[in-house]
Amino acid sequence: MSNIIKNSQKNVFNDEIIERKNKFFNMKKKGLILPDRFKKNDNLKKISEKYYNKNIDELKILNIYVAISGRMIQRRIMGKAAFCILQDIEGKIQIYVNEKKISSNLYNDHFKKWDLGDILGVTGLLFKTKTGELSIYCDNINILSKSLKPLPNKFHGLSNQEIRYRKRYLDLISNNKIYKIFRYRSDIITKIRNFMIQNNFLEVETPMLHRIPGGANARPFITYHNEINASMYLRIAPELYLKQLIIGGFERIFELNRNFRNEGISSRHNPEFTMMEAYIAYSNYEDMMQFTEKMLKDITTLIFKNNKIIFDKYEFDFSQPFHRLTMKNAILQFNKHITLSDLQDFKKITLFAESIGIKIEKKWGIGHIENEIFEKTVEKKLIQPTFITEYPIEVSPLARRNDINQNIADRFELFIAGYEIANGFSELNDAEDQKNRFLKQIKQSYKEKNENMFYDEDYIEALKYGLPPTSGLGIGIDRLIMILTNQTSIRDVILFPTLRSLKK
């Protein structure tokens, strides 16, 4: 589009804003006071659902009187009568406005001067037009709020993705599908919470501000508490606090809340995100895998009335058993030219990793390299719901060692459509082992000048009192909602995603 056309549209837009402001000024000058309430007796979706199938004669007999409100998005004036469309968050309806019915003053001096985008309150009888459109025969109409700016669809809709995210209110006004996504989000979170409570979990709340960031290897956001003269960190994970509650005697707990990680922004990552973490005392990671699978199957059935989900170009049947693969077997399945012995030989696994573009760091052992190969060559190919087990202990600092093979952890991750959805493991409850792992991480972080590693003495102190055998689970709620609502960007399931600053 040429600059001349853009400037022309901008001038028209600005002229309309000035005109609307002048209208509103004159309306107030003549005594307009916008009401502080409007009593409505139904919303547009319910009205449509109740009466859509009624014919003209049936509606006359029923004599349904409604009081509704909404934003005027269309209007067609035909002399002394007009049709307009009112829209609320869930639906829309046609309003028939007649000068004789509402008075000449209200029709000519008010209604005709209102603009698209204005929020109106309407009362009247339901009827159907000759073409069969459910409508309201208006007997009174009032302006409830003035829109000083034109709606975006007046200029070809809200197609700019960046504007959609920055001005979500315009996105919601312009596209009812956006509301449906976030309605589903609310339903999914509610169903998860209810499922946990019905399975005898207690919901708890742990601090958002931490003295020491822990529970995950991630860069934290840092703030400062003036009263106690100390740096504080927005939590990257609630894990260590939740396990202290298990030590204290709780047996089934969960927390569904926000975590914050001062890292990259992408279609899969938002620095502020929603997680659910859950812990079950006296259980192991295999129990938690079964629980996770059951929860996801039950929730999809409750919300979508069946177990089949469409995401992007894939279809998932959640009624089928989830696949299970060890990390090594998954790597071998998707890398046919290497063998199990290659994965167990440091020199061979290093050469293979380098051949596919992985930059090996000095501190890495075989397990860490194996995990990098998995992430590079396998992760995005795990389309159907798949549990990956037998993670290297090197990349599982809070997980229990396997009894038979001390080099792997009793841990799983769940992948769907190439996305990591959940992470769980049998919790490490050996205080000395946990202390040594923390110290090893700290020692390595000093070498790398990594300021994100801290020794959590309080957690080690708590562990010394005894953590029962426990399994833990973390589910990325935003990613799960992406898949269940068929959205390929995390920004489309977060109402106000984090965005880069606009260049001035």
Report pLDDT digits (tens) over 415-449: 999 999 999 999 999 999 999 999 988 887 666 65
pLDDT band at residue 304 under the 50/70/90 scheme: confident
| CATH number of the domain to which 265 belongs | 3.30.930.10
- Rounded to whole angstroms, the Cα distance separating 377 from 331 reads 7
199 or 6, higher pLDDT: 199
| CATH number of the domain to which 83 belongs | 2.40.50.140
Q: What is the mean pLDDT of residues 295-315?
A: 91
- Rounded to whole angstroms, the Cα distance separating 321 from 414 reads 13
Report pLDDT digits (tens) over 32-87: 999 999 999 989 999 999 999 999 999 999 999 999 999 999 999 999 999 999 99
- Check: CB of residue 209 under 8 Å from CB of residue 259: no
Q: Specify whether 206 is located in the same domain as 260.
A: yes
Q: Specify whether 419 is located in the same domain as 330.
A: yes
Residue 450, in any domain of the structure: yes
Residue 346 has pLDDT above 90, yes or no: yes
HEC secondary structure over 460-492: HHHHCCCCCCEEEEEEEHHHHHHHHCCCCCHHH
* 102, 123, 157 - which closes a domain: 157
Amino acid, res. 339 = T
- Rounded to whole angstroms, the Cα distance separating 84 from 361 reads 66
Q: Specify whether 207 is located in the same domain as 125.
A: no
**pLDDT attached to residue 156:** 52
Pair of tokens at residue 480: 């799960």
pLDDT band at residue 379 under the 50/70/90 scheme: very high
The CA-atom distances, in angstroms, between 322 and each of 269, 304, 379 are 25, 19, 16
Q: Specify whether 149 is located in the same domain as 257.
A: no
176 or 407, higher pLDDT: 407
- Rounded to whole angstroms, the Cα distance separating 216 from 343 reads 26
The answer to whether 448 is a known ligand-binding residue is: no
In percent, the amount of the chain with pLDDT more than 90 equals 87
Residue 145, in any domain of the structure: yes
Residues whose CB is less than 8 angstroms from the CB of residue 271 and which lie 6 or more positions away in sequence, other chains included: 221, 260, 261, 262, 263, 265, 498
**pLDDT attached to residue 448:** 60
Q: Which domain holds residue 219?
A: 174-335+378-493
**pLDDT attached to residue 449:** 54
Q: Specify whether 227 is located in the same domain as 150.
A: no
Tell me what the pLDDT averaged over the chain comes to.
Answer: 93
Report pLDDT digits (tens) over 129-174: 999 999 999 999 999 999 999 988 644 556 788 889 999 999 999 9
Q: Specify whether 129 is located in the same domain as 45.
A: yes
- Return the H-helix or E-strand segment holding 437: helix 431-448
Residue 236, in any domain of the structure: yes
Residue 287 has pLDDT above 80, yes or no: yes
Residue 364, in any domain of the structure: no
Residue 344, in any domain of the structure: no
Q: What are phi and psi of 53, to 5 degrees?
A: -90, 0
Q: Specify whether 279 is located in the same domain as 393.
A: yes
Q: Specify whether 108 is located in the same domain as 201.
A: no
Count, residues in the chain:
504
pTM (2 d.p.): 0.92
In percent, the amount of the chain with pLDDT more than 70 equals 95
Q: Specify whether 183 is located in the same domain as 113.
A: no
Q: Specify whether 227 is located in the same domain as 277.
A: yes
**pLDDT attached to residue 442:** 84
Among the ranges given (2-11, 50-59, 451-460), the one the predictor scored with the smallest mean pLDDT? 2-11
The number of folded domains in the chain is 2
Residue 341, in any domain of the structure: no
Nearest of 40, 39, 68 to residue 126 by alpha carbon: 68
Pair of tokens at residue 366: 């075989």
Q: What is the mean pLDDT of residues 89-95?
A: 95
Residue 504, in any domain of the structure: no
Report pLDDT digits (tens) over 202-224: 999 999 999 999 888 889 999 99
- Rounded to whole angstroms, the Cα distance separating 157 from 170 reads 10
- Rounded to whole angstroms, the Cα distance separating 185 from 490 reads 12
Residue 6 has pLDDT above 80, yes or no: no
Report pLDDT digits (tens) over 222-244: 999 999 999 999 999 999 999 99
- Rounded to whole angstroms, the Cα distance separating 344 from 290 reads 30
**pLDDT attached to residue 155:** 46
The answer to whether 413 is a known ligand-binding residue is: yes
Residue written as tokens 């079964």? Answer: 290
Which residues is 230 bridged to in the sheet?
225
Q: Specify whether 117 is located in the same domain as 223.
A: no
Secondary structure (3-state) at 123: strand
Q: Specify whether 131 is located in the same domain as 39.
A: yes
Q: What is the mean pLDDT of residues 370-395?
A: 98
Residues whose CB is less than 8 angstroms from the CB of residue 381 and which lie 6 or more positions away in sequence, other chains included: 334, 418
Residue 401, in any domain of the structure: yes
